[in-house]
């Protein structure tokens, strides 16, 4: 992959993305303001962490369950690398391994990918949008199956900084993380549109699915993952669900598919329903905050701390008509 000036005062050079998607030149000013202490008080610390990453050459890349970069590194360089990466805590999605440093993320995101990938249209040479992408882990997995371009959208700046750290070594112009809310991104159509773990955080979830539809190319595929309840009625939790704020509605599986249908998608199918377990989501040295085990009821792990049904997630796929 060609080397580019990705870091000018540690602001991403988005020019190659604008070349691939000219309509997004209008985002330049908004993106430029993202990388500042005004956007987040910890930005300078994160910036310093990326700056402290040692210069290392990648000899081999494995975009597999653990996204792995291999190459020669001294003990001192590995120590510097690990210290810098730990400053970018919390690592929510992964796992990664960089030059022998293993990042054991909160989520075993590879498990989710293994559940989703059998149900995807072939991603070869496709342009892909990943809404709520986190640090871009799934983008690397999409490149593993020969996607042409992956654009992730996630407003959480620390995730973009983690992506920058990984891409400091990979120097890819195929996998991007844009630190903006999805609602601020101009409509451009993609061959495949992902939204995983987002819709229940929206006050107007149907509006979110309708917006996903506008970003989907005719004939393109939607992959929508959500918390669900396995009852006829959807759940509207109180102040918190599994200690999470901003969970506005957890749909029934029927309602989730209805949202997809009402947006205009066809060939809708529920391809996976899986309970989330503490083996898949948990605290680690790379994500030291409370996680799923602390969010479950201490006397009954089939319920959350608030007494709601414990997390179950469903994946729905659909297609936009030609």
Q: How many CB atoms lie within 10 A of CB 170?
A: 20
Q: What is the spatial distance between Cα 50 and Cα 122, in angstroms, rounded to a whole number? A: 34
> What are the structural domains, with CATH classification, of the chain?
7-319 (3.40.50.150)
Phi, psi values for residue 213, rounded to 5°: -60, -40
Q: How far apart are CA 128 and CA 217, in angstroms?
A: 10
Q: What angle do CA 109, 113, 115 make, to 5 degrees?
A: 120
Angle, CA 33 vertex, CA 85 and CA 176 arms, to 5°:
55
The model's pTM is: 0.95
- Strands, DSSP E only, in the chain? 7-8, 11-12, 60-63, 67-70, 96-98, 101-103, 127-131, 149-153, 175-178, 190-196, 216-228, 266-275, 296-297, 300-304, 312-319
- Which token pair is 142? 């999409």
Angle at 14 between CA 12 and CA 16, to 5 degrees: 130
Q: pLDDT value at position 10?
A: 53
Query: Which tens digit of pLDDT belongs to each residue from 121-164?
Result: 999 999 999 999 999 999 999 999 999 999 999 999 999 999 99
Q: Directed axis angle between helix 43-51 and helix 75-86, to 10°?
A: 160
DSSP for 177-201 reads: EE-S-GGGSPP--EEEEEEES-GGG
Q: What Å distances lie between residue 253 and 33, 79, 111, 221, CA to CA?
A: 39, 47, 21, 19
Q: pLDDT tens, 62-76?
A: 999 999 999 999 999
Low-confidence ranges of the chain (pLDDT < 50): 1-9
Query: What was the pLDDT predicted at 12?
Result: 82
| pLDDT at residue 32 in the model | 87
């Amino acid at each position: 992959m060609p080397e580019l000036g990705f870091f000018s005062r540690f602001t991403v050079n988005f020019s190659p993305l604008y070349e691939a998607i000219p309509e997004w030149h209008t985002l330049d000013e908004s993106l430029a303001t993202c990388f500042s202490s005004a956007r987040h008080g910890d930005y300078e610390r994160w910036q310093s962490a990326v700056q402290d990453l040692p210069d290392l050459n990648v000899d081999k890349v494995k975009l597999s369950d653990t996204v792995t970069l291999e190459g020669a590194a001294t003990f001192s360089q590995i120590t510097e690398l690990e210290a810098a990466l730990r400053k970018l805590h919390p690592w929510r999605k992964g796992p990664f391994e960089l030059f022998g440093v293993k990042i054991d993320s909160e989520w075993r995101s590879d498990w989710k990918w293994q559940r989703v990938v059998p149900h995807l249209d072939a991603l070869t040479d496709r342009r892909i949008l990943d809404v709520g992408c986190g640090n871009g882990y799934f983008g690397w997995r999409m490149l593993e199956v020969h996607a042409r371009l992956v654009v992730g959208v996630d407003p959480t700046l620390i995730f973009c900084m983690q992506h920058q750290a990984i891409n400091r070594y990979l120097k890819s112009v195929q996998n991007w993380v844009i630190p903006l809310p999805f609602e601020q991104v101009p409509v451009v159509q993609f061959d495949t549109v992902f939204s995983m773990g987002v819709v229940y955080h929206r006050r107007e979830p149907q509006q979110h699915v309708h917006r996903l539809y506008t970003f989907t190319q005719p004939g393109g595929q939607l992959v929508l993952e959500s918390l669900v309840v396995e009852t006829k009625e959807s759940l509207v939790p109180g102040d918190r669900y599994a200690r999470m704020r901003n969970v506005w509605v957890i749909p029934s599986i029927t309602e989730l598919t209805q949202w997809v249908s009402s947006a205009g998608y066809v060939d809708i199918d529920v391809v996976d329903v899986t309970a989330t377990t503490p083996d898949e989501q948990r605290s680690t040295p790379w994500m030291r905050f409370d996680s799923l085990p602390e969010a479950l009821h201490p006397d009954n792990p089939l319920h959350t701390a608030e007494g709601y049904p414990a997390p179950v997630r469903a994946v729905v796929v659909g297609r936009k008509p030609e």
